[in-house]
Structure 1
């Protein structure tokens, strides 16, 4: 009988899904999708990737571990109101996506679908937008960044964003993703992040090490304070 949260997390779940094969046919692209699954709390999603590796400037490993082990009530809540940067970023995403199409000529569709890794069930990824009919790039990540955060993009895609996208590529099997970011409301930049098997293997290895802390209900060593 499973009693503790740590035991429930260690309990294997059926993941009899075929490995993803990327072709231009929509039916094959549908393989591996999990519609309507509440995986954000039960596993590591793309938004968790950087924090799991201690590379997120806004969230520490310890805070992520507390969230994943049901200790949210011990954390200071993160407010999301109409004045937050995350709110405005979400609000502007459709506009950023539209201008990506104008600049590149590539069609985009909104899918809002959660995927589960076919071999590592604790890994999930939410894909909001896909690039349609392109053999070069399959996923699109849209961001809007205010002036205060724009310096993080001075040298290109920040590491914490790159890790999020790499996690998406690992889970979905996609070959590449475009990151389009609106900086300060006026500077639109487009970056390509391509699949790299060595980096993906390292990412999975490091995320698995963090997930073991969740499974065993043992806090990781703090890297950046309490986040």
Structure 2
């Protein structure tokens, strides 16, 4: 299937990369983001980032290196797998291991996350992902082949854990039935997905409406204002340090001290001057100008 069809197919169930977020152990993705991924309409394929590109590109290299170091033969498995009874559980595994009831997952890891892989350590979200795949496949174990920081290769084995799998199945079942199928989003969080969801859901503005907020929101508003003031204070302190460093660099692009490098790089960008375009080429401006409506959020004190 093509990429767009594959993305739509992934909305029919929960995959291994979703589990850590659903169970609250993925620091980079929230349950709300998974909910949006499963419920929003997909009309186009968005360009993948560098991390995704290199992860896909290096998968074959990692699988081959795993075979060299372990002597185990692996085989690709290019199809969407669905659990035999819990059809909301799906997965795309990287490789099957020939002659064993085992699977192989290949991953590239940023140098910033290297500590999560030291010794026998494996990130919790990866463990959950592998247990999910083992349940979907009915496998006994899952090997992980990881390239850390682009220069260190490690492989580790995760054995099937029935107790953990039962927790995963229950969490996924609850999320799928009570949130995705019923179209009831999980608890709001601070993710970009949550912000976009609110903007899309409540985009029709009625200026005549007034809402009497619940009493509990008075404390939330006070907390909001207090945090905003703290951010402002910290931003100012940060800017002072930044300006002093810029002053120290002067016309130099880079400065170094111990294991730190400070960069004040020149960047050239080309932007359309909309004011000039409107004055000189009003017809073209009118043709290319597109109106957009958004909602600006603010809190202000009023007198009664």
Q: TM-score range by the shorter chain?
A: 0.7 to 0.9
The offset of 1:54, in angstroms, is: 2.2
Q: 1:190 aligns with which of 141, 147, 155?
A: 155
Q: 2:73 aligns with which of 104, 107, 122?
A: 107
List runs of 5+ in structure 2 lacking aligned partners: 1-5, 194-304
CA offsets, 1:166-186, max 9 Å, x none? 110111111101001011122
Change in CA separation of 1:106 and 1:112 when aligned onto 2, cut-off 3 Å: same
TM-score w.r.t. structure 1 length?
0.74
Change in CA separation of 1:223 and 1:152 when aligned onto 2, cut-off 3 Å: farther
Equivalent residue of 2:94, what SS?
Answer: strand
Partner of 1:130: 96
Give the conservation status (yes or no) of the 8 Å contact 1:176–1:192: yes
**Which structure: greater strand fraction?**
1
Relative contact order, higher structure (CA 8 A, sep 6+): 1
The higher radius of gyration belongs to 2
Bigger mean CA deviation after superposition, 155-164 or 170-179 = 155-164
Distance (Å, rounded) in 2 between the aligned partners of 1:39 and 1:53:
22
**Which structure: greater helix fraction?**
2
Give the conservation status (yes or no) of the 8 Å contact 2:8–2:42: no
List, as ranges, runs of 4+ consecutive aligned residues in structure 1 with deviation greater than 3 Å.
36-39, 222-227
Q: 1:171 aligns with which of 111, 133, 136?
A: 136
Bigger mean CA deviation after superposition, 190-199 or 137-146 = 137-146
Give the conservation status (yes or no) of the 8 Å contact 1:109–1:131: yes
TM-score w.r.t. structure 2 length?
0.56
Equivalent residue of 2:65, what SS?
Answer: helix
Distance (Å, rounded) in 2 between the aligned partners of 1:112 and 1:225:
32
Partner of 2:48: 80
The number of residues matched between the two structures is: 185
Distance (Å, rounded) in 1 between the aligned partners of 2:31 and 2:147:
28
Partner of 2:122: 157
Distance (Å, rounded) in 1 between the aligned partners of 2:42 and 2:62:
33
